[in-house]
Amino acid sequence: MKRRVFLIVLDSLGIGASPDAEDFGDVGADTFGSCVRNGKLEVPHLEKLGMFHIDETSFKRKSDHEIIGNYGKLQPKSMGKDTTVGHWEIAGVVSPNPLPTYPKGFPKDLIVAFEVATGRGSLCNKPYSGTEVLRDYGVEHILTGRYIVYTSADSVFQIAAHEKVIPLKELYEACVKARSLLVGNHGVGRVIARPFVGTYPEFTRTVNRHDYSLKPPRETILEVLQKYNLSTIGVGKIVDIFAGVGVSESYPNEGNEKNMIRTTQLAKQDFSGLCFVNLVDFDMNYGHRNDIEGYVNALNKVDAQIGQLMKVLKKEDLLIITADHGCDPGFPGTDHTREYVPCLCYGEMLVDGVNLGTRKSFADVAQTIADYLKVNYQGDGRSFYDEIRR
Nearest-CA neighbor of 319 among 33, 31, 55, 48? 48
Nearest-CA neighbor of 377 among 246, 233, 221? 221
Cross-strand bridge partners of residue 160: 148, 194
pLDDT of the residue at 62: 87
Cβ atoms < 10 Å from Cβ of 320: 23
Using pLDDT thresholds of 50, 70 and 90, give the confidence band for residue 64: confident
pLDDT of the residue at 207: 85
Report pLDDT digits (tens) over 239-284: 999 999 999 999 999 999 999 999 999 999 999 999 999 999 999 9
Round the average pLDDT of the chain to a whole number and report it: 96
CB 380 within 8 A of CB 94: yes
From residue 220, alpha-carbon distances to 246, 282, 302 in Å are 8, 25, 27
Report pLDDT digits (tens) over 109-165: 999 999 999 999 999 999 998 889 999 999 999 999 999 999 998 899 999 999 999
Q: What domains lie within the chain, and their CATH numbers?
A: 4-97+215-388 (3.40.720.10), 108-213 (3.30.70.1250)
Looking at residue 329, the DSSP 8-state letter turns out to be: T
Nearest-CA neighbor of 375 among 273, 266, 276? 273
- From first CA to last CA, the distance across the chain in angstroms is 16
Report pLDDT digits (tens) over 40-58: 999 999 999 999 999 999 9
